[in-house]
Amino acid sequence: MTTDVVVLNGGSSSGTTTLARALQGMLDDAWLLLGVDDLVDALPQRGPGATATIAFPPDGSVVVGPTFMRVQEAWTAGLAAIARAGVGVLIDDVLLGGGASQERLAAALDGLDVLWVGVRCDADVAAAREAGRGDRVTGMAVAQADTVHRGVRYDVEVDTSRASPQDCARQILAVLARR
């Protein structure tokens, strides 16, 4: 069976997007890279719709409301539809609820061949990256470094604090080649 979807799960500033771009450049076919940041960017930025979706308090946490959950459900259904139409999808995600979030995403991807990738990064390395970015709430990287992996089952795990994006992508490609 050919893999339809690769889910890369890692905390904020762990390097999931950079890794996904490296992987995308090494894959033989055209794969779409779509991530939770794309979803967040597509949400209303002001008005009543904005307050009911997602918030980023100054403590580095992320608070999602019921509207976000509804929108996210539609988003994941769309990602699954793309894969079912025959286009590979790289999902760059932050599974805030750990295993429970994986179960929700897996249900949307039911019937597709999915490779689950854990993108690990030492909290101090992720925090340094976060500080250099300037587009994240301070503390988000540390808060998410371990929690996004709790209860999640992976086919392969990589560590972006110790290896380059290209080396991590090669690890993932090796697993894909064996499937």
Contact present, 163 and 121 (Cβ < 8 Å) = no
CA distance 118 to 156: 6
CA distance 7 to 34: 10
Q: Which residues on neighbouring strands pair with residue 158, listed in sequence order? A: 119
CA distance 128 to 142: 10
Decide if 59 is catalytic: no
Between the alpha carbon of residue 173 and those of residues 10, 27, 106, the distances in Å are 18, 8, 21
138 torsion bin: left (phi>0), alpha (psi -120 to 50), beta (else): beta
Catalytic residue among 37, 122, 159, 167: 37
Contact present, 177 and 155 (Cβ < 8 Å) = no
Catalytic positions, written as ranges: 37
